[in-house]
Chain A
């Protein structure tokens, strides 16, 4: 009795249950996504040089500065430590051509953060993927820099000194352009292999499918993403492949893989239930194919994801979890 009396009564917290937690936090998830994005950046550094790191930093800085400002102005607790602004900055940089002037990503990052996330209420309240809105805004603001500043990879067979990516060349030149590209590949070289590995011109984070898959595998292992969305996007894109003049380049080129594993899987802007996620993914895949084959852009995944982002609230209403009741019907 006496022992307990000497110990002062602690300050007791009162709350509703439960009083224990899994230990996983939003910040952990975001930083793990950031970590998973690093292999792709490493690859970009290897093939395009130091400049990609500068661009990435500039984009991250834009997002971080804007996030800090928004939190200050809204008098909210700073959400910088949760890593989501850094994540948006990384993803935006990954969609940019490696030759873009270094100050542009900073502007793009700020605009994306403020107009997509900040004014909608911050983390969790954005309707569109932050990085993709940033890219779309930059496409409108800096159309020349966004479509012509490509760099030639340090190694590989694809000659991309010209001002366009392979997908853009095919878009403009059709079969003729394709034949020219294929002719440039030395005997024994496999174009699809160069694309898979990432020896081609393209946006910073999209060029290496292998590196993207490496990061994605990490996220799958950690249970952060599930396969419903990425797989159904790839299926949707594949369904449209026969309409492309070069199906293998169509599947491996552009931002499909980055978009499928890292953009479309963003929790906030994608549906929560598996069936909703499959419709969401298929929609993205099909729209990407439609834009690429019949639309005005060589690329399509960015706008396809944004279009399906619009449908996310509806998909969450249409596809609900099954209740554990005798009939299983949602009430």
Chain B
């Protein structure tokens, strides 16, 4: 026991709060990534943060794998046809977070001349500006879930002093194992992608953070770094793998930066302000494929899991694959499902319509039964302080909730709502099952409305 707690405390982690929910990774961690291609895909045009794309195709048009089918006017992240086929429809359809969006449906008709995106010669030596262009044109966004356009994150302001790239292999959300599988099965791509990103932002130091419960992935990554000889490439990059404590939300940028480098991101600031850029492992692979193969983001790996699905899987699916198709492919329901989520159980979104499809930011599809999820009436705050202890940012969710109940949303800023990134540690810990994250969200919305009115 003492040895265990000693070794635990010896691993780096963030300084405040955090929780350790049941991991449930055993459902899928040993399942290799499988490919699944449905007969049709439906792509909402809003796939990332920022302005939405507009469709460039009309009904009955023919598209080839990799064709741009929607783009943001004035430049932005484009959306590509993940499969060759015929446009079945361009109409309003369900969206995981926006409820409704313009959805492009493609009837898949794979042909023999479909582009395969082979490796292009001389990719290592491309000028940085061209690399960034390829990342943008490939529609790469943060695949960890945030879906922030990657080319924008990598285009640093002139005065930025960045010295370290952090690659996020934490995958701290319970159930999810897709990043773990990618690190095990495609470690070379992760390492080469990380090297490319290091080159783009001009750093010589790259740290890959992996949680303690994914030791085999950390091992594999270390081995691959040694085999590829990153320190002998041009430019050389010193790449290290750091195993962190298994503690949610280890994969949150600010927390991971502190765990790995000890640096604290200033209030309202970005990791960039302390010399760091953070990218997820799957995003590193997408960057590599964009630059080396000219391949857009056409598919993603996600974990289909939960006690409510018959055969949980790690799957590589085209963007736009519907929940309905994934449900059928994974054997259908098992037990009484009460919630279906896109994403992890801490920050994922519930869906109401099986027609909702996988977007670039969907890292998981969970079918939760009543036994795994909490659906209960909430009770008054008893001021136990558990939420404050759990909050990794040092905020006061209890008081935000009390002010919200009292109908005073515009007095909640003092308790830190602007620093809240909705990790959910507070609600998870609350013995009164209070929807503290929701109170935070409603408070933020009240400020947004108030500020719009003031303008």
Contacts and interface: CB of A to CB of B under 8 A. Distances in A.
Contacts of A125: 380
A24 B375 CA distance: 14
A295 interface: no
A82 interface: yes
B374 A21 contact: yes
Interface stretch (A6-14, A60-68, A159-167, A186-194): A6-14
A22 B19 contact: yes
A77 interface: yes
Contact of A28 (B336, B346, B419, B431): B431
A268 B418 CA distance: 26
Interface in A31-90: 77, 79, 82
Interface string A103-147: 000000000000000000111110000000000000000000000
Interface string B426-437: 011111110101
Interface of A: 1, 3-5, 7, 9-22, 24-26, 28-29, 77, 79, 82, 121-125, 267-268, 270, 272-273, 316, 320-328, 330-331
Contact of B424 (A18, A124, A267, A331): A18
A17 B394 contact: no
B354 A323 contact: no
Contacts of B395: 321, 323
A325 B416 CA distance: 11
Interface in B381-428: 381-386, 388, 391-396, 398-399, 413-414, 416, 418-419, 422, 424, 427-428
A19 B416 CA distance: 23
A12 B14 CA distance: 36
Contact of B431 (A1, A15, A16, A25): A25
B431 A20 contact: no
B345 A19 contact: yes
Given A7-B332, A10-B336, A13-B339, A18 B437 contact: yes
Contact of B428 (A20, A26, A270, A322): A20
Given A272-B383, A331-B414, A3 B267 contact: no
A322 B327 CA distance: 45
B373 interface: yes
Nearest to B437: A16
Nearest to B380: A124
10 contacts: A10-B333, A10-B337, A12-B338, A16-B438, A22-B21, A22-B431, A26-B379, A125-B380, A321-B394, A324-B15
A75 B174 CA distance: 39
A15 B435 contact: yes
Contacts of B431: 22, 24-26, 28-29
Given A18-B424, A22-B428, A3 B331 contact: yes
Contacts of A17: 345-349, 422, 424, 427, 437
Nearest to A29: B431
Nearest to B354: A9
Contact of B396 (A10, A270, A320): A320
A21 B431 CA distance: 9
B346 A321 contact: no
Nearest to B332: A4
Contacts of A9: 354
Contacts, number: 179
A11 B374 CA distance: 15
A20 B264 contact: no
Given A16-B441, A321-B394, A323-B393, 16 more contacts: A3-B332, A4-B332, A15-B375, A16-B438, A17-B349, A17-B424, A20-B22, A20-B174, A21-B433, A22-B431, A25-B433, A26-B431, A124-B381, A124-B432, A321-B391, A331-B418
Contacts of A26: 379, 382, 431-432
A20 B350 contact: no
Contacts of A4: 324, 327-328, 331-333
B407 to A, nearest CB: 14
Contacts of B435: 15-16
A230 to B, nearest CB: 16
Most chain-B Cβ atoms within 10 A of its Cβ — which of A16, A121, A270, A320? A16
B373 A326 contact: no
B15 A18 contact: no
A123 B352 contact: no
B254 interface: yes
Contacts of B340: 12
A325 B419 contact: yes
Contacts of B16: 322, 324
B382 A267 contact: yes
B315 to A, nearest CB: 16
Contacts of A13: 338-339, 350, 373, 375
Contacts of B366: 19
B351 A12 contact: yes
